[in-house]
Copies of this chain bind each other. A is one copy, B any other.
Amino acid sequence: MSSPRITLDRSSPVPLYFQVAEQLERAIVSGEIGAGERLENEITMAQDLGLSRPTMRQAIQVLVDKGMLVRRRGVGTQVVHGQVRRQVELTSLFDDLAAAGQHPRTTVLEQLLVPADEQVAEQLQVDLGEPVWSLRRLRFIAGGEPLAVMHNYLPSSIVDLGDVDLEAQGLYSYLRDAGFVIRVARQSIGARGVRPVEARLLREEVDAPLLTMQRTAYDNLGRAVEFGRHAYRPGLYSFDVTLVDR
């Protein structure tokens, strides 16, 4: 039965439930609360912190959703076994790698307006043939090895990529700066053989397998903001997903 020390700052703009969730998460990843260990019950924890029970529950729910805690009615809440993996999050590969301490380099191969093909039109909810930004980039990891070919499409009606330097910053980072709040993304992950052009860019053999990802991202207005077709070298990248039953 574990009860890590948690401190609250009621003058902070950070919500109380989030402060609690953050500190609980730190206690779990640091090992202060070990795998399989049980937490103090919700009501006691709430009282100890001077919080109401719903607020305490909200804090715990955050970690349940991350797959770090498991609740059982009548029994209690405990830490899931197994090492904690970093989650796939709503960032581009650039931010992903930057966060992981890598220093990714990017080459822009193409950045221009093209007419939307059928799939792009459908995904971005624009008319067939309507001009959309086409952005093809080659991404390298720290050592200079090519990692991925990324092809993004953005509706020209809501984004202007004309003057943006996407070798200096990631696409998602730019979109955030431009005021887009990405809330939802739908990804489909598959595999296929490398194509000749890609083989040259990625320095792969013919017949090499590639990991592919298609993604459509939506902002907080529900609009499709970006659609991408990407190909990764499978030795250098994989997608980690945590599924939680609720």
Contact = CB atoms under 8 A, between A and B. Distances in A.
Interface of A: 35-36, 54, 65, 67, 70-72, 78-82, 85, 88-90, 123, 125, 182-193, 207-211, 216, 218, 220-224, 234, 237-246
Given A80-B222, A184-B245, A189-B241, 9 more contacts: A36-B222, A54-B54, A72-B221, A80-B184, A82-B123, A89-B245, A183-B244, A187-B241, A191-B191
A153 to B, nearest CB: 14
B240 A187 contact: yes
Contacts of A211: 189-191, 211
Contact of A224 (B65, B78, B82, B234): B82
Given A82-B123, A82-B186, A82-B216, A243 B88 contact: yes
A227 B239 CA distance: 17
13 contacts: A35-B222, A36-B222, A65-B65, A72-B220, A78-B221, A80-B184, A185-B242, A186-B243, A189-B189, A189-B239, A191-B209, A192-B209, A211-B211
How many copies altogether? 2
A186 B67 CA distance: 8
A182 B88 contact: no
A182 B246 CA distance: 10
Nearest to A66: B184
A82 B216 CA distance: 9
Given A207-B207, A238-B189, A184 B243 contact: yes
A88 B245 contact: no
A65 B64 CA distance: 13
Contact of A241 (B71, B72, B88, B220): B88
A54 B55 CA distance: 12
Contact of A190 (B80, B90, B222, B238): B238
Contacts of A123: 82
B244 A82 contact: no
A182 B245 contact: yes
